[in-house]
């Protein structure tokens, strides 16, 4: 079983080195996408991942690309894996006649993360991690169980750095949970978040939608108006954009917190939870138009 732990890094001046590595990942990503496009124009076929990785290894020996060595070789391989998976999905959708777009170039400011697999990091005592030759501290809110498989360094819209540990917890002993003997089925609704199948004394256990965006809509409108009034390229516009981004991240965190608390509550109450599986693509073809669905994905497991 795979489990991901997320922690926020302390705000420090040394975090600029991680931002540089993320920007370097974006540079390598765009270079690989350009190679894919050029190779397809010349040979009308897909560029093999092994050939691409071999080519990058040769490039890193040249003077113009020596700065790529500051990013670990496994992190660069993971970038090629991302592109390979994206092109595989693209060509598969083409065969199925599903409209989609191939991988394209990304701005450095919009590129978010890079991943270390087996090397390039070391978990230290307490709340510290060694990445490259630099030590970073993070807010360790809970213990890390299992064997670490990958470590991902990711930044958000506020330029805060988060670290994700993907761990295999198959060997971790799980505590025995008290069985309740209850089971329930849920349907996702448009007005109701979850429609429950069971009732107690005629009272339904339906879960209403939290509507976090609607509750914060006036604040978002105000921040959008303030942003539109600022001169482009000015420091005031950057401050207004940061305030708007912060509000959207707050709304996203409210949704995430609601979902995790709901999952914990339902798993404590029921032994078996059944959910419907909607075929949205088929419904789109049937109605002949696109359906706007706000899909709150919530993994409910017992």
pLDDT at 293: 36
Condensed to tens digits (0 to 9), the pLDDT of residues 133-192 reads 899 999 998 888 889 999 999 999 888 999 999 998 887 766 666 677 788 888 877 778
pLDDT at 195: 82
Cα 257 to Cα 45, 248, 254: the distances in Å are 45, 14, 5
Condensed to tens digits (0 to 9), the pLDDT of residues 183-240 reads 888 887 777 888 888 766 556 678 888 889 999 999 999 999 999 999 998 999 999 9
Dihedral class, residue 219 (left if φ above 0, else alpha if ψ from -120 to 50, else beta) = alpha
Give 28: exposed, middle or buried? Use CB within 10 Å, 0-12, 13-18, 19+.
buried
Q: What is the percent of the chain where pLDDT is above 90?
A: 53
Q: What is the percent of the chain where pLDDT is above 70?
A: 88
Cα 46 to Cα 78, 79, 101: the distances in Å are 18, 17, 15
* Diameter over CA atoms, the chain: 76
Give the three-class secondary structure for 102: coil
Q: Is the pLDDT of residue 289 over 50?
A: no
Encode burial over 210-241: b for 16+ CB neighbours within 10 A, e otherwise.
Answer: bebeeebeeeeeebeebbeeeeeeeeebeebe
Question: Is 193:296 a contact under the CB 8 Å cutoff?
Answer: yes
Distance CA 235, CA 217 (A): 25
Provide the whole-model pTM.
Answer: 0.80
Q: Is the pLDDT of residue 116 over 80?
A: yes
């Amino acid at each position: 079983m795979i489990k991901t732990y997320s922690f926020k890094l302390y705000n420090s001046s040394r975090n600029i080195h991680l931002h540089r590595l993320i920007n370097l990942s974006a540079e390598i990503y765009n270079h690989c996408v350009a190679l894919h496009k050029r190779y397809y124009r010349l040979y009308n076929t897909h560029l093999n991942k092994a050939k691409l990785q071999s080519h990058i290894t040769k490039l890193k020996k040249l003077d113009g690309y020596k700065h790529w060595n500051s990013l670990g070789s496994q992190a660069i391989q993971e970038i090629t894996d991302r592109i390979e998976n994206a092109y595989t999905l693209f060509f598969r959708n083409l065969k199925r006649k599903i409209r989609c777009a191939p991988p394209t170039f990304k701005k450095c400011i919009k590129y978010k993360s890079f991943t270390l697999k087996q090397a390039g990091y070391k978990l230290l005592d307490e709340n510290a991690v060694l990445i490259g030759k630099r030590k970073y501290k993070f807010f360790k809110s809970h213990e890390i169980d299992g064997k670490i498989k990958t470590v991902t360094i990711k930044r958000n819209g506020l330029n805060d750095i988060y670290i994700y540990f993907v761990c295999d917890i198959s060997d971790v002993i799980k505590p025995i949970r008290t069985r309740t003997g209850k089971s329930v089925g849920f349907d996702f609704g448009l007005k109701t978040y979850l429609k429950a199948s069971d009732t107690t004394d005629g009272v339904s256990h339906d879960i209403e939608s939290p509507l976090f965006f609607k509750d914060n809509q006036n604040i978002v409108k105000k921040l959008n108006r303030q942003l539109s009034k600022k001169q482009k390229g000015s420091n005031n516009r950057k401050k207004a954009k940061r305030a708007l981004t912060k509000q959207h991240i707050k709304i996203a965190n409210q949704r995430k917190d609601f979902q995790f608390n709901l999952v914990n509550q339902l798993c404590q109450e029921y032994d078996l939870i059944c959910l419907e599986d909607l075929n949205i693509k088929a419904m789109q073809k049937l109605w002949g138009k696109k359906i706007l669905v706000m899909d709150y994905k919530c993994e409910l497991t017992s």
